[in-house]
Amino acid sequence: MTVERTENPRAQIGVTGLAVMGSNIARNFARHGHTVALHNRSVAKTDALLEAHGDDGDFVRTETIDEFVAALQKPRRVLVMVKAGDATDAVIDELAHAMEPGDIIIDGGNALYTDTIRREAALRARGLHFVGAGISGGEEGALNGPSIMPGGPAESYEALGPLLESISAHVDGTPCCTHIGPDGSGHFVKMVHNGIEYADMQLIGEAYHLLRDALGYDAPKIAEVFSEWNTGTLESYLIEITADVLRQTDASTGKPLVDVIVDAAEQKGTGRWTVKSALDLGVPVTGIAEAVFARALSGSRTQRAAARGLASGTLGDKPTDAAQFTEDIRRALYASKIVAYAQGFDQIAAGSAEYGWNVDRAALATIWRGGCIIRAQFLNRIKEAYDADPQLPSLILAPYFREAIEAGIDSWRRVVATATMLGIPVPAFASSLSYYDGLRADRLPAALTQGQRDFFGAHTYERIDADGKFHTLWSGDRTEVRA
Ligand SMILES: NC(=O)C1=CN([C@@H]2O[C@H](COP(=O)(O)OP(=O)(O)OC[C@H]3O[C@@H](n4cnc5c(N)ncnc54)[C@H](OP(=O)(O)O)[C@@H]3O)[C@@H](O)[C@H]2O)C=CC1
Ligand SMILES: O=C(CO)[C@H](O)[C@H](O)COP(=O)(O)O
């Protein structure tokens, strides 16, 4: 370990923002043999990191931004890991004043992609390279290998890629880091990653709810079910940690921890951003939207307290074959999960087309196989599907996923019907099934919607048997005219 205040530019990378993520990524860089300059607004965090983990590698301690920048080899590379929003702008502004043309600023926080587009343009005008990099993996991933989604100029990736790839997770020898595309693309795909994370967590939550309230299983028993599921097609980080959380006993009460945690889910904003962006792009991300709304409903504590005891209507019988119903839930979870990922990848395709990013969905699935929160066995299947057909209109149409859904469709319907009859809310299971049924429908009721729009607003409609737009003279003689 070298801990010093120096003007010698010997650090290969600087990390500013040494909270949970930044401190662990700094240690990860150091453990991979890179000399790391450390900076944090309050020096206490820098010193705490050096005190506890200075032996991890070669660090350069700095207190001010000028000192920090002076410690870096040229072209200078600084990773910013601070709170998204105003704090990120403040730090970038301070760095930009101290850095020189050709230097690279990487924002590894959960920035809103439109902020990244703005920041990239502003810094480019000053000759600086700006890389908005989505980073996923939480505390453990940051230390041992996250999934990294860097956007920004391609030439920045040439200077940066090997460094970032060295600290990322690796699956089958392939780094979980690749250049995503220009400006805001890296943060856009990280945002959608988090949206999918929300949907996946909500689906797991609904499965847990059904096992608890439809089958009467306690938390340790449900943990066993999730552990068993983690040996099959559902194998994933989120299923694995679900079993761990359910197995945890609360020290003060002796009860399962999950039973003493308040049932009001919080959110920092990336799921909400995903849905807002999907609305703007016109992409139906129903699973993600239901997950965001389910968290909002859970957090509506006053309304929930007032509504407790409202009539349920006549409820149905609980399933009698627990093993069969458990298998139904597993299949419904897998089918719904396929829909959630399909919708997320559709949104990425739409964002990529809108902004001209040319995002490679197979490459993205490849780097999500390890390191990130949504890492899962079935990302290999997603990669294969986009490798086979990069223009695939929907993941659901790829042979593997089509067959997986067909194998689970009867279970999926039973689960949604049973949950409805038992009064157990399953918004993500139900909306995913409705999406699937909507997508495969021969004829949707949208024809009626178009007729109504034409009636009250002369908005016109298309006909199935002729080209062009038409309007019916609803307030006249009701004959049809070409619009
Ligand atoms: N936690 C997680 O699992 C993940 C987080 N992220 C993202 O990574 C980033 C860092 O996350 P995390 O490590 O949790 O830390 P936080 O989001 O809690 O941010 C804390 C850090 O931001 C610094 N900071 C806050 N305001 C300012 C400011 N105005 N000027 C300078 N520095 C400021 C703090 O400095 P000080 O110590 O002086 O207060 C501290 O270093 C965030 O954007 C987050 O969204 C991404 C993936 C996973
Ligand atoms: O980026 C992440 C993982 O990929 C974070 O863990 C994410 O911020 C958690 O989101 P939320 O607090 O909204 O549940």
pLDDT the model gives residue 159: 87
271 and 388 assigned to the same domain: yes
Is the previous residue joined to 390 through a cis bond, with omega within 30 degrees of 0? no
143 and 283 assigned to the same domain: no
Asked whether residue 8 carries a pLDDT value surpassing 70, the answer given is no
By CB atoms closer than 10 A (0-12, 13-18, 19+), residue 200 is: buried
pLDDT tens-place string over residues 250-292: 999 999 999 999 999 999 999 999 999 999 999 999 999 999 9
Phi, psi of 218 (to 5 degrees): -90, 175
353 and 411 assigned to the same domain: yes
Q: Are 389 and 254 in contact (CB under 8 A)?
A: no
Last residue of a domain, one of 128, 156, 179: 179
State the residue range of the domain holding 108. Answer: 13-179
Q: Are 175 and 168 in contact (CB under 8 A)?
A: yes
Residue 132 tokens read as 């908005």
Give the span between the Cα atoms of 81 and 243, in whole angstroms.
30
Nearest C-alpha neighbor of 138 from the set 16, 25, 271: 25
Number of domains in the chain: 3
**Distance of CA 342 from the midpoint of ligand 2 (Å):** 20
298 and 375 assigned to the same domain: yes
User: What is the CATH classification number for the domain harbouring 89?
Assistant: 3.40.50.720
CB of 44 closer than 6 angstroms to any ligand 1 atom: no
State the catalytic residue, choosing from 120, 165, 197, 290.
197
- The answer to the question of residue 141 being in a domain is yes
pLDDT the model gives residue 259: 98
- Closest ligand (CA of 81): 1
- The answer to the question of residue 7 being in a domain is no
pLDDT band at 7 (very low <50, low <70, confident <90, very high): low
User: What is the CATH classification number for the domain harbouring 453?
Assistant: 1.20.5.320
- Calculate the dihedral angle through the C-alpha atoms of 18, 22, 28, 32, rounding to the nearest 10 degrees: -80
140 and 198 assigned to the same domain: no
- The answer to the question of residue 98 being in a domain is yes
83 and 201 assigned to the same domain: no
- The answer to the question of residue 277 being in a domain is yes
pLDDT the model gives residue 3: 43
pLDDT the model gives residue 1: 43
Look at ligand 2, atom 3, and give the residue with the nearest C-alpha.
Answer: 136
Last residue of a domain, one of 156, 179, 202: 179
- The answer to the question of residue 5 being in a domain is no
pLDDT band at 48 (very low <50, low <70, confident <90, very high): very high
Asked whether residue 323 carries a pLDDT value surpassing 80, the answer given is yes
**Distance of CA 268 from the midpoint of ligand 2 (Å):** 7
109 and 208 assigned to the same domain: no
Asked whether residue 118 carries a pLDDT value surpassing 90, the answer given is yes
311 and 275 assigned to the same domain: yes
pLDDT band at 130 (very low <50, low <70, confident <90, very high): very high
CA 149, 152, 158, 160 torsion: positive or negative?
negative
Is residue 190 part of the annotated active site? The answer reads yes
Asked whether residue 35 carries a pLDDT value surpassing 50, the answer given is yes
DSSP structure string for 154-197: HHHHHHHHHHHHHHS-EETTEESB----STTHHHHHHHHHHHHH
By CB atoms closer than 10 A (0-12, 13-18, 19+), residue 380 is: middle
Q: Over range 308-326, report the average pLDDT.
A: 98
Look at ligand 1, atom 29, and give the residue with the nearest C-alpha.
Answer: 87
**Distance of CA 292 from the midpoint of ligand 2 (Å):** 12
State the catalytic residue, choosing from 7, 67, 139, 190.
190
Query: What H or E segment, with its residue span, contains residue 29?
Result: helix 20-31
Look at ligand 2, atom 9, and give the residue with the nearest C-alpha.
Answer: 268
- The answer to the question of residue 1 being in a domain is no
Q: Over range 329-341, report the average pLDDT.
A: 98
453 and 433 assigned to the same domain: no
Nearest C-alpha neighbor of 163 from the set 343, 30, 285, 321: 30
- The answer to the question of residue 359 being in a domain is yes
- The answer to the question of residue 23 being in a domain is yes
Give the span between the Cα atoms of 118 and 98, in whole angstroms.
20
218 and 104 assigned to the same domain: no
Give the span between the Cα atoms of 180 and 183, in whole angstroms.
9
User: What is the CATH classification number for the domain harbouring 353?
Assistant: 1.10.1040.10
Which ipTM score applies to this complex? 0.98
173 and 200 assigned to the same domain: no
Calculate ∠ Cα 11-12-17, nearest 5°: 75
Give the span between the Cα atoms of 37 and 14, in whole angstroms.
4
Look at ligand 2, atom 4, and give the residue with the nearest C-alpha.
Answer: 136
299 and 236 assigned to the same domain: yes
Ligand 2 proximal residues by C-beta, below 6 Å: 110, 136, 138, 194, 197, 267-268, 270-271, 373
Give the span between the Cα atoms of 52 and 130, in whole angstroms.
31
